[in-house]
Structure formats: C-alpha cells, structure tokens
Chain A
Amino acid sequence: MFFLAAEGGETTHNPIIPLWQEVVVGGIAFIVLCFVLMKFVFPRMEQTFQARVDAIEGGIKRAEAAQAEANQLLEQYRAQLAEARTDAAKIRDDARADAEGIRQDILAKAREESDRIIAAGKEQLAAERATIVRELRTEVGTIAVDLASKIVGESLADEARRKGTVDRFLSGLESAGAR
C-alpha cells in the first residue's frame, strides 16, 4: 500500500522542514509532560532531599549534643574523683599525724611512768637501806655490846663509854669498807 502510494506520485517530504501538525502534537504532549512532572514530582523530590538532609543533620546535631553532655559528665566525674582523692590523702595524712602524736604521747607517758617507777624504787630502796642500816647498827651494837659484856663482864656497862667505843669502832669499820 505504502509502496504503491509512494510510486503513485505522493508529495515528497523534505526531512529538514518540520510538519506543523507534528509540532503542535509534540508541543502539547511535551507541555503536558512538563506540567505534570514539574508540578507534582520534582518539587516533591526536592522536598524529600531537603527532609533527608535535615534528618541527617538533625541526627548529627543530636549526636553532638549527646557527646557534649557525656563529655561534661565525664569532666564532672573526673573533678569529683580528684576531689575525693585529695580528701582521702588529707584524711590519711591527718590520721598519720594523729597516730604519730598519740605514739609520742604514749611514749612520753611510758617514759615518765618508768622514770617515776624507777625513782620510787630507788627511793624505797634507799629508805629500806637506811632502815636496815639503822637497825643493823643498833643490832650489831647491841650484839657486840652483849658479846663484849659477856666476855668482859659488867665492867664495861657504863653507857657513855660503851656508846662512844662502839661508834668509834663502827666508823672505823665503815671507813675500812669504803677504802
């Protein structure tokens, strides 16, 4: 059909001259396409892109805020920890100082006590010694006098002489012992 028609002297077309009917049809079709796509589709895509950007940026912002808060908390905890450490060190130092003081006190008291006990012991010893010496002296004197009286009889019973003689004797004894 086409073949025959072309043979039959159909008006020839020049491909570089547009057919006005096609321009009209193509134009209307393209304008319809532009209208629908540019009004209902691409602006919504642009909105979606924007929403996506917002979502991502919002997420990043939230994460940054959380990070900042966490950092702040960490700082706070660190500060508190440092404070607690300082406190602990101070308490330990105080305790050590107290302990040292108490030790010194106790030592001093003990030394005092021992000194006191020693002094008391010495005093008592001296007193006892003195008593014993006094008693011994009397006793020795008496025994010696008794002995001497038995030996030499009643002649030496004169008290004054006897006292002087015994005392002299004893002093001699003492000085001989000291030498």
Chain B
Amino acid sequence: MFGQANVLAAGQAEFPPKVEDFYLPSILPWGAHDTYWFTKVTAMVWIAVGVLIIFFLASYRKPQLVPTKKQWFAESIYGFVRNNIAVDMIGHAGVRFAPYFTTLFCFVLLTNAFAIIPFFQISPNSHIAFPAFLAVISYVLFNYIGIRHHGFVKYFRNSLIPPAPWYILPLLIPIEFFSTFLVRPFSLAVRLFANMFAGHMLLLVFTLGGFAMLSANAWLAPVSVLSWVMTIALTFLEFLVIVLQAYVFTVLTASYVQGALAEEH
C-alpha cells in the first residue's frame, strides 16, 4: 500500500496501468507479494461483512411495529429485495429466498461501492475470486432447488428439453445444456468481475494519465486537469455500474431459481 502511495508521490507511477496494479502487496506479512491471506482486498471483504452485520443487528435489535428511522431504512432494503426482486421474479414462493437474496445484494453492493469510496478505491469484486464464489453459490442454489422441487429426472427433463418438434431437439438439447449448466456460473461471475475490473482500470487510466502527462510536459497541465475532471465524471458512471451490477447479480440469481422452480420449460 505504501509502496503505491510512494510511487504516486514520486510521480513515477507507471503508465499505462497494468493488471499487476490490482494485486496489492500483503499487509500481513507486511509487503509480501505472494501471500494473499491478508491483503487490502481481503481486509475490505471483512470490513464489508462487519459493517453489514453491525448495521443490521444494531438497527434491528429492538424491532417495533412503528419503525424508527434506522429500522425503517434496514427494512426498506429488505423490503426492496423481497418485493421487487424475490416476489416479482418468483412469485409468492420467492419470499423464502428473500433473506439470501438480500444478503447477496447488500454484500455485492457494499463491496462494489468500495471502488469509489475514498481510501478504499478498489472493489474486491475486481478480483474474480469473490464473484466466482458467489456465482457458485447461485449455481448450486438453483440446481439444488430445482432437483428438490421436481426430482432429479424431471428437473433435468424440464431444463434440457424445450417444447419443440422432435427433429430439432438434437440441436436444442446441447444448447440448453451449455447455456444452463455450463455458461451460467461463468457469465454471472465474469459480468460482475469484468465490470468492476474495467471500472477500476478506467479510473486508474484517467488519474495516472493526468500525472503522466504533467510529468512529461508542463504544457500538458490543462489536459491533465481535463483528465482528472474525466475521473470525477467516470466516478459517477462507476456509481451507476456499482448499483446496477449488484442489482443484476441478484435479479439473475432470482431468475435462475425461478426457472428451476417453473413447471414448464
């Protein structure tokens, strides 16, 4: 961490930014480069978990029929995911998934938000490990729900055999298998990861680009300022992406669960 700060201060930041910029040195042991147990990224994950647990436990310690402001806020987050995602996508049966969806939504939203919060300024989700884990949970969840609801054979028949003429099935079944059982976890994980990775990369390009131009030639200072103004504008864009991707991840998981529960294909 200090290493990077020193580099910025010395005006020696390498430009253009590279993939290696995403892999910050370890905190414990200090400065090591090939241990990943306790880095800024994992620390942020723990902070996110801690903040969410403290927030929800504190605001829901003594729930009341007429809610306080804090309780109302916590309830409206849950109510939003419960009514606008779980119930909208799955119907009344979706209520029992609402707690998981809300946890997922809050976790993705907060870890995404670290991308633009000062001093954090990188999202853990720009490391594919975290989106991948969440995607695997979604994958296991919807398959488990489907198998438990329909039974093994009926679930796979529902998922793999679309209502189509028999002669086109040899073509459709592999496509269905591919799209439902192979691509889904990857698309979920990569969508979130790539968005956060690209967002961080964009902010790096414009921030470091400003410094690079300034150190290359003093006459380029106005362009540097323009570059930093762009950084601010892109931060707003990044905010939109943060909220949208958290929403999309949750909605897609709900949609997969809904598909697994559906009677027809």
Chain A residues, Cβ within 8 Å of B65: 48, 51-52, 55
Tell me which of B23, B31, B46 contacts A29 (CB under 8 A): B46
Q: Check: B235 CB closer than 8 A to any chain A CB.
A: no
Q: Check: B262 CB closer than 8 A to any chain A CB.
A: no
Q: In the bound complex, how far is the Cα of B52 from the Cα of A40, in angstroms?
A: 13
Interface size class of B (residues with CB under 8 A): 35 or more
Q: In the bound complex, how far is the Cα of B128 from the Cα of A19, in angstroms?
A: 8
Closest to B20 in A: A6
**Given A5-B33, A22-B130, A40-B57, CB of A30 within 8 Å of CB of B49:** yes
Q: In the bound complex, how far is the Cα of B44 from the Cα of A115, in angstroms?
A: 128
Q: In the bound complex, how far is the Cα of B227 from the Cα of A108, in angstroms?
A: 125
Chain A residues, Cβ within 8 Å of B94: none
| Interface 0/1 of A1-29, CB less than 8 Å to B | 11101100011111111111111011101
- Check if B41 sits within 8 Å of A37, measured CB to CB: no
Q: How near does chain B come to A54, taking the closest CB pair, in angstroms?
A: 9
- Check if A41 sits within 8 Å of B60, measured CB to CB: yes
- Check if A41 sits within 8 Å of B42, measured CB to CB: no
Chain B residues, Cβ within 8 Å of A121: none
New contact pairs (20) apart from A12-B19, A23-B132, A37-B103, CB-CB < 8 Å? A1-B3, A6-B18, A10-B33, A15-B197, A19-B36, A19-B127, A22-B42, A22-B130, A30-B107, A32-B53, A33-B103, A33-B107, A34-B100, A37-B53, A38-B99, A40-B60, A43-B99, A45-B78, A46-B95, A49-B75
